């Protein structure tokens, strides 16, 4: 039976058997249950109208038809529940990542209708959220701009799952906005800085980007595994002329090369690595980055490094984008290169790019990656 709430503020009962406080739930799912107030209530689903209730900090809804994939069960063991004084068979369901994306689109659509934000800002906010859901990093949901950043986590969902869920949502407010944002999402982005750079590169000019060809995200271009006399190499055939002998392999310092962004322009293999002081400061990191650059060069790859300084302002970002265009220009059509360069000069597109920088909010070196 779905949980119901008794008359004590912010306490929850299930089937009339157990009662526990929201604070107890918060120890299991601190993000989902944190900061519950009258203005930010806990949403509880109930099976019918007779079970609806009014209590401070909690808001109940009748659970009608819900699309497949709307909810996920919180993965908590019986031992963890009992340790916190909660029933061992307690089952807690939360909104799925796809449903979170749709609910955010509903909210963004409402703000657009009310004139609070522009359609462009709404789209960028959804891209920021979707990049976290499908990426390997997470911002603090209670302090998005300055809260703790967590890196190298498993993605909450995939772009494919979000798109499939959206196909089931017919007649939902904000669905067109959600689908537009989903069409630009990509799996595997690793940080807010990386996300900001990715969208500045690939979004069309009408959305503040330069319409550059889409890169591969965090794709392994080279790996080797030494097990006795066996050497496994996985790389593009044309790297080093398609012949990597044992001596060439031994001169490559790293076991694996996986740039944040990479492009295959035929004769040009362009890669980008996003650096931060947090992960790339200090002598050992400095030396490792230089050796990594040498490895890319040995494999015939042109590698660029990006730091906070390259994305902290529209001017800095556009300077870096102009460098990318210049490197790739010989391998792209003259028309496309001309359109990308014009997008860097037009004031109306620069204004859109300024919003992109603001929404993704790259942080100073001590706070970003």
User: What one-character-per-residue DSSP string does 250-314 give?
Assistant: HT---SEE--SEEEE-SS-EEEEEE--HHHH-SHHHHHHHHHHHHHHHHTTEEEEEE-GGGTSSH
| Closest to 58 measured CA to CA, from 9, 1, 91, 3 | 9
What pLDDT, on a 0 to 100 scale, did the predictor assign at position 145? 73
Residue 10 is predicted with a pLDDT of 46
Say what the pLDDT of residue 53 is. Answer: 67
> What separation, in Å, do the N-terminal and C-terminal C-alpha atoms of the chain show?
44
State the pLDDT at residue 42: 76
Show the tokens assigned to 331.
Answer: 């391998």
For the chain, the 3-state helix, strand and coil shares in percent, each to the nearest 5, are: 40, 20, 40
The pLDDT score that the predictor gives to residue 167 is 94
Residues of the chain with pLDDT under 70: 1-20, 38, 47, 53-56, 63-66, 225-247, 276-286, 362-369
pLDDT at residue 252, as a whole number:
83
Report pLDDT for 228: 44
The pLDDT of residue 322: 97
């Amino acid at each position: 039976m779905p949980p119901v709430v008794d008359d004590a503020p912010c306490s929850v009962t299930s089937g009339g058997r157990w009662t526990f406080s929201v604070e107890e739930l918060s120890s299991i799912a601190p993000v989902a249950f944190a900061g519950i107030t009258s203005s930010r209530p806990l949403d509880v689903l109930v099976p019918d109208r007779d079970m609806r209730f009014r209590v401070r900090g909690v808001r109940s809804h009748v659970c009608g038809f819900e699309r497949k994939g709307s909810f996920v069960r919180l993965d908590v063991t019986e031992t963890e529940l009992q340790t916190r004084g909660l029933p061992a068979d307690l089952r807690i369901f939360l909104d799925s990542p796809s449903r979170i994306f749709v609910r955010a689109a509903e909210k963004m659509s409402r703000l657009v209708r009310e004139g609070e934000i522009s359609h462009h800002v709404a789209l960028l906010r959804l891209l920021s959220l979707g990049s976290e859901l499908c990426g390997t990093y997470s911002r603090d949901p209670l302090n998005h701009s300055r809260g703790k950043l967590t890196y190298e986590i498993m993605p909450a969902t995939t772009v494919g799952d979000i798109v499939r869920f959206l196909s089931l949502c017919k007649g939902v407010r904000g669905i067109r906005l959600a689908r537009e944002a989903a069409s630009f999402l990509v799996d595997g982005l690793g940080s807010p800085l990386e996300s900001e750079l990715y969208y500045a590169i690939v979004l069309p000019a009408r959305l503040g980007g330069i319409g550059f060809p889409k890169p591969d995200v965090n794709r392994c271009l080279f790996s080797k595994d030494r097990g006795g006399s066996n050497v496994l190499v996985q790389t593009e055939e044309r790297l080093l002329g398609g012949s990597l002998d044992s001596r060439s392999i031994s001169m490559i310092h790293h076991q694996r090369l996986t740039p944040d962004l990479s492009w295959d322009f035929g004769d040009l293999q362009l890669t980008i690595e996003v650096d931060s002081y947090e992960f790339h400061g200090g002598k050992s990191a400095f030396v490792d980055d230089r050796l990594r650059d040498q490895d890319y060069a040995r494999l015939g790859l042109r590698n660029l490094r990006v730091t906070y300084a390259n994305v902290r302002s529209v001017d800095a970002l556009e300077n870096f984008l102009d460098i990318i265009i210049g490197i790739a220009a010989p391998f792209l059509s003259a028309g496309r290169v001309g359109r990308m360069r014009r997008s860097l000069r037009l004031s109306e597109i620069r204004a859109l790019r300024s919003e992109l920088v603001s929404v993704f909010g790259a942080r100073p070196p001590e706070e970003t990656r």
